[in-house]
A and B are shown apart, each in its own frame.
Chain A
Amino acid sequence: MSAPKFDFDIAVVGSGPAGLAAAALAASKGASVVLLDEQAEPGGQIYRAVTETPVRDRKVLGPDYWHGAELLGPLRDSGAVHWPGTIVWSVARPREDVADGHRPIQIGLSRNGAASMLTVRHVILATGALERPFPIPGWTLPGVLGAGAAQVLLKTSGLVPSGATVMAGSGPLLWLLAWQYLQAGVRIDAILDTTPKENWRAALPLLPGFLRSPYLGKGMKLMLEVRRKLTVIGNVTALRAEGAIGGDSALKSVVYTRNGAEHRLPADTLLLHHGVVPNLNLANATGCAQRWDEQQRCWRPTTDEWGATSVEGVSLAGDGAGIGGARAAAEAGRLAALDALHRLGRIGREQRDQLAVPHRAALDRALTGRAFLDTLYTPAEAFRAPADDTIVCRCEEITAGAVREAVRLGCSGPNQAKSFLRCGMGPCQGRLCGPTVTEVIAAERGVSPADVGYYRLRPPVKPITLAELAALPKTDADIDAVFKH
């Protein structure tokens, strides 16, 4: 292989807080940086549509949302190139070494319906979080959405639920959305709180740390306001969504269990949420090692204190590396950028460490109290590993019962279960079933999810058309491998 032509020094994937901060800092120090993002506008999900939301009344989305706008100026001034509307479907390193000592990273892109490969020296994955799958019977019915999805509709389009609306689950985002609806004059009918009572016992010792947090206390205030103004039903231990009797066309009611008794609420819209987990598909498909985080009850790619992964030249920053929230994500993005600059020889080790000091301190501040939230809002097992009749894989419509049956046939992990059942083989590539399938197998085997593992993923992590794939550059060796044998 001849020496590659590098398109950029650094590519940053994702323009949420981590990506915006990483790209801005790296470019401001002279590196050539491209910021790749699937959305049309920067901000990620947390600051989604911050440049163009029709919700101009600032009190509705709240100050934490508008904080996102502060990340945009530095990006603009930094000289980083921003490519919105760009799907990253692959990140890989060719095996061959090259002359100048920097093995290139090749990034598979799709922009405006055409795929291409981008060659860079370093990549920072800032792929953020997604809502933890919340498998209950009926969660596939039209009218059942993630609370995060409803928040995107509010931010991007000023759309709010109409008709009978129920929110269910636990975690900060649920309360934030209910509060935002209140500010917008939208009243939802009930919040079904699934936070397990017993979580308080484990979380209480962590409360002092939480109370020291400069940011998280605000969340508490907002939750109290929601509790004062809306119907909140606590200690909910089971949930199901139901359509019309004898039909499954759309949501009609929500059935919940409290203190052992079932109750029914009419509902046109059910918004589910019980926390967020790292969106790790791209890191996983890139070959980055990952580990089970018991406290956050999720898989997270393994990183060092700079966000460097097990794959040389690939770093991670923000919630994609473990949930820390937007403030922490921005600081982690800056640390990853400094380390990338150091690895590229643009700054020395000492300079890196010195520049990192304020960001590391800010990161620590932002993470203060996180353990309390993680512990308090760990979903109950019944919602992580649901009953047999519940669909866990939405794409292939595979139930928890089918996964358990596969375990009884001897499947010890999700990859064999995937082969047997097709769970995780649909277009979402396991994003909506992976955490659940691991939990179900672990519970059925009576072992930790750490011993069960996770799907081994492959590119493309987002679909591209066969024609796009066919148009990519090929070497003679590539063609021979297909045509000569």
Chain B
Amino acid sequence: MFRRLPEIETALNAAGHTVSFTIDGRPASARAGDSVTAALLANGVTACRTTPVSGAARGPYCMMGVCFDCLVTIDGTGNRQGCQVRVAPGMAVETQNGKREVER
């Protein structure tokens, strides 16, 4: 579980530097500049997918693009590294179950 440092949260809201997006269809908000993964954590989403091998739940591990555990579906494309993509206004982020579907 992660939270924003309070003084940063206050400054963000005051300056309007926030981004509205959706997580599995639910409205959510993050700081402009957050990675998708950071935005998920800031919204209380610790587990972002289940694995294609055993179906175990996973969440981000490295935050630097090497572990591939933060994979999510972004705007309809599966298996994106959430920690390497910046959250954008209106972005549709979906958690994933198991193997990617070839058509998305």
- List residues of chain A with CB under 8 Å of any chain B CB: 38, 40, 45, 52, 54-55, 57, 130-131, 140-146, 148-150, 152-153, 156-163, 184-186, 248-250, 268-269, 279, 394-397, 426-428, 431-432, 462
Taking A153-B41, A162-B1, A397-B53 as known contacts, 4 extra A-B pairs with beta carbons closer than 8 A to each other, sorted by chain A number, are A140-B69, A157-B38, A396-B53, A432-B67
A54 and B11 form a contact (CB under 8 A): yes
CB distance from B80 to the nearest CB of A (A): 10
Given A160-B2, A160-B5, is A152 in contact with B31 using a C-beta cutoff of 8 Å? no
A-B contact pairs, 6 of them (CB 8 A): A142-B46, A156-B35, A157-B35, A250-B47, A268-B1, A428-B68
A160 and B62 form a contact (CB under 8 A): no
- Bound-complex Cα distance A248 to B31 (A): 30
A279 and B5 form a contact (CB under 8 A): no
B62 and A149 form a contact (CB under 8 A): yes
Determine if B63 is an interface residue (Cβ-Cβ < 8 Å). yes
CB distance from A13 to the nearest CB of B (A): 14
Q: Which residues of A are found within 8 Å of B34, using beta-carbon distances?
A: 156-157
Give per-residue flags for B62-74: 1 if the beta carbon is below 8 A from chain A beta carbons, else 0.
Answer: 1111111101000
Other-chain contact of A159, B11, B42, B51, B67 (Cβ < 8 Å): B42
Closest to A395 in B: B68
Interface residues on B, range: 35 or more
Q: Which of A144, A145, A427 has the most CB of B within 10 A?
A: A145
Given A157-B42, A250-B57, is A152 in contact with B2 using a C-beta cutoff of 8 Å? no
B3 and A145 form a contact (CB under 8 A): no
Q: Which residues of A are found within 8 Å of B65, using beta-carbon distances?
A: 38, 462
- Bound-complex Cα distance A149 to B46 (A): 13
By Cβ-Cβ distance, the 6 closest A-B pairs, closest first, are: A142-B59, A149-B63, A158-B8, A142-B47, A152-B63, A162-B3
Q: Which residues of B are found within 8 Å of A145, using beta-carbon distances?
A: 59-63
Other-chain contact of B33, A142, A156, A397 (Cβ < 8 Å): A156
- Bound-complex Cα distance A249 to B7 (A): 32
- Bound-complex Cα distance A55 to B8 (A): 7
Closest to A161 in B: B2
CB distance from A434 to the nearest CB of B (A): 11
- List residues of chain B with CB under 8 Å of any chain A CB: 1-5, 7-9, 11-12, 31, 33-35, 38, 41-42, 46-48, 51, 53-54, 56-69, 71, 79, 83-84, 86
Q: Which residues of B are found within 8 Å of A152, using beta-carbon distances?
A: 63-64, 83
Given A148-B62, A249-B57, is A160 in contact with B3 using a C-beta cutoff of 8 Å? yes
- Bound-complex Cα distance A484 to B12 (A): 60
Given A397-B53, A397-B54, is A148 in contact with B64 using a C-beta cutoff of 8 Å? yes
CB distance from A67 to the nearest CB of B (A): 20
- Bound-complex Cα distance A426 to B38 (A): 23
- Bound-complex Cα distance A40 to B9 (A): 22
- Bound-complex Cα distance A150 to B61 (A): 9
- Bound-complex Cα distance A269 to B59 (A): 11
Other-chain contact of B86, A40, A158, A185, A395 (Cβ < 8 Å): A40
CB distance from B28 to the nearest CB of A (A): 14
Q: Which residues of B are found within 8 Å of A185, using beta-carbon distances?
A: 5
B62 and A153 form a contact (CB under 8 A): no
Other-chain contact of A153, B38, B59, B66 (Cβ < 8 Å): B38
- Bound-complex Cα distance A148 to B64 (A): 9
Q: Which of B67, B68, B83, B84 has the most CB of A within 10 A?
A: B67
B63 and A153 form a contact (CB under 8 A): yes
- Bound-complex Cα distance A229 to B42 (A): 27
Given A38-B84, A161-B1, A268-B1, is A394 in contact with B67 using a C-beta cutoff of 8 Å? yes
CB distance from A276 to the nearest CB of B (A): 11
Q: Which of B48, B57, B64, B84 has the most CB of A within 10 A?
A: B64
Other-chain contact of A431, B7, B12, B66 (Cβ < 8 Å): B66
Q: Which residues of B are found within 8 Å of A57, using beta-carbon distances?
A: 7
- Bound-complex Cα distance A427 to B79 (A): 10
Closest to A38 in B: B65
Q: Which residues of B are found within 8 Å of A396, using beta-carbon distances?
A: 53
Q: Which of B11, B33, B42, B86 has the most CB of A within 10 A?
A: B33
- Bound-complex Cα distance A431 to B61 (A): 13
Closest to A462 in B: B65
B66 and A432 form a contact (CB under 8 A): yes
- Bound-complex Cα distance A229 to B25 (A): 43
- Bound-complex Cα distance A144 to B60 (A): 8
- Bound-complex Cα distance A212 to B71 (A): 45
- Bound-complex Cα distance A186 to B4 (A): 11
CB distance from A379 to the nearest CB of B (A): 18
Given A156-B34, A162-B2, is A146 in contact with B62 using a C-beta cutoff of 8 Å? yes
CB distance from B97 to the nearest CB of A (A): 13
Q: Which residues of B are found within 8 Å of A162, using beta-carbon distances?
A: 1-3
A144 and B61 form a contact (CB under 8 A): yes
A250 and B38 form a contact (CB under 8 A): no
A248 and B62 form a contact (CB under 8 A): no
